[in-house]
Amino acid sequence: MTKPFVFKEYIFSLIFWCVFAVAIWINFQANTDRFIALLQTIAIVISSVIFTYHLTHNLLPKALRTKRMKTFLIQATVNVLILSIIYSFIFTYLQVAPKVDLPTNVYDHLPILWQGFYMALPAAFMISGAACGIKFYLEHKRIERDHILLQQAHLENQLKLLQDQINPHVVFNILNHIHILMKTDTELADFLLMKFSDILRYQLYHCNQNLVPLDKEIEYLQNLVEVEKLRWGNELNVDATLKINNTKASIAPLLLVPFIENAFKYVCRLPGQTGYVKIFCKEENNNLFFYVENSYSEMAVHKKKDGGIGLQNVQKRLKLQYPNAYDLKIESDNLVYKVTLTLKLSENDQ
């Protein structure tokens, strides 16, 4: 990205100086010999390039870095004065047949040089100002580009960090279920290992992407729900309906997992009652509707607080990946906990 940008900057500067040279040559050759006009043009362009290059490529970037713009204004003023003096000498001495005969006494040249300096001052100011303006514009584009790249890198790092927090958490829970079943039901443990293989394969080969096919994500969630059903058995009623209409739709990987994990983690079974978890997910017209409900108790939640991922992770990812494209509602009382998410899948997700 840097080399093409620098190349474009030099091309832009070259075009500017070429246009400037042609403009002053046309102006000079109307009043003097074309060869002399060419010499004057070359002298003015060379001196202008040298001084404005030093001003815009050395002094200006340094002033921007150190935030000493007042010093730069003084330096720019000195630059304009020096250029005006140089222009005055060019206008006065670089002529074959000067309109005004120069006095033989050098000291008598000062009024003529002063007049040339006075007339050259606006030109020097405009040239230096134009060069600084162009440099300011290019620096602004460079800063804007670097800012966008920095934001993108920061966003990717944040998403990677949030996503990496989920993977080991889910794997740990499943392995813990299998470990318990190995002591009581080896056949069921073997079945769970197969499910775990599918889950792990999905996390390893698909979740390193920014977006994954929605049908693959739903299949992954179904496997997680199946694992939880087997773990809880008859102690918990689980009703899960997951369906999509657009098989080409995509979604950020593992975005919905914490909702399901929390529902099973904090589900409450009151004495003499069976707890429940309801999960509903539907995609229609590129809109995703996701709903999770579970039996709930504040006392049970306080007992299970162990530093889990929680919903903050999901909320951060939604803000980063789906700004202004989602609606998340979380409702709870002492009996029921509900999570409702409406997500607008972007056009790029299709």
Band of pLDDT at residue 349, cut at 50, 70 and 90? very low
Distance CA(150)–CA(153), nearest Å, equals: 5
Q: Residue ranges of the alpha helices (H) in the chain?
A: 2-29, 34-54, 60-66, 69-93, 110-181, 186-205, 214-232, 257-265, 298-303, 312-321
> Six-digit token pair at 129?
């100002």
Bridge-based pairing state of the strands 275-284 and 236-244: parallel
Distance CA 252, CA 158 (A): 14
The dihedrals phi and psi of 206, each to the nearest 5 degrees, come to: -120, -30
Q: How far apart are CA 117 and CA 184, in angstroms?
A: 100
Contact 281, 290 (CB under 8 A): yes
Ramachandran angles phi, psi of 101, nearest 5° = -65, 125
* Domain 182-349 fold: Heat Shock Protein 90 (3.30.565)
pLDDT per residue over 15-31, tens digit each?
Answer: 877 887 887 788 777 66
pLDDT > 50? residue 134: yes
| Rounded-to-integer distance, Cα 195 and Cα 274, Å | 26
- For residues 169 and 260, the answer to whether their CB atoms sit within 8 Å is no
Tell me the angle at which helices 110-181 and 214-232 cross, rounded to the nearest 10 degrees: 40
Mean pLDDT check: name the lowest of 204-208, 288-292, 336-340.
204-208
The pLDDT tens digits for 71-98 are 888 888 888 888 888 888 887 777 644 4
Instruction: Give the residue among 49, 53, 124, 52 at the shortest CA–CA distance from 88.
Output: 124
Are 326 and 343 in contact, with CB atoms under 8 Å apart?
yes
Backbone φ, ψ for residue 125 (5° rounding) = -65, -45
Q: Is the pTM higher than 0.75?
A: no
Q: How far apart are CA 51 and CA 101, in angstroms?
A: 30
- Chain mean pLDDT for the chain: 77
Residue 237: strand pairing partners: 276
Q: Which residues contact 214 (CB under 8 A, 6 or more apart)?
A: 244, 246, 247, 249, 250, 251, 283, 288, 345
Which of 269, 256, 237 has its CA nearest to residue 317?
256
Q: Give the residue among 283, 275, 181, 292 at the shortest CA–CA distance from 227.
A: 181
Q: Which residue has the tokens 């299998």?
A: 178
Closest CA to 16 of 145, 143, 116, 137: 137
Mean pLDDT for 249-263 is 86
C-alpha–C-alpha distance, residues 219 and 222, integer Å = 5
Q: What is the C-alpha separation between 269 and 43, in angstroms, rounded?
A: 91
Would you say 279 and 291 are in contact if contact means Cβ atoms under 8 Å apart?
A: yes
The pLDDT value recorded for residue 160 is: 59
* 1 pLDDT more than 50: no
Over residues 161-218, the pLDDT tens digits come to 555 555 566 667 677 878 887 888 788 888 888 887 887 788 777 777 778 889 888 9
Q: Which residues contact 244 (CB under 8 A, 6 or more apart)?
A: 214, 215, 218, 281, 282, 283
Rounded to the nearest 10 degrees, how much is the dihedral formed by the CA atoms of 120, 124, 127, 128?
Answer: -170
Greater pLDDT, 45 or 305: 45
Both tokens of 146, joined, read: 């670097």
* % of residues, the chain, pLDDT over 70: 78
Domain ranges of the chain: 2-148, 182-349
The pLDDT score that the predictor gives to residue 141 is 73
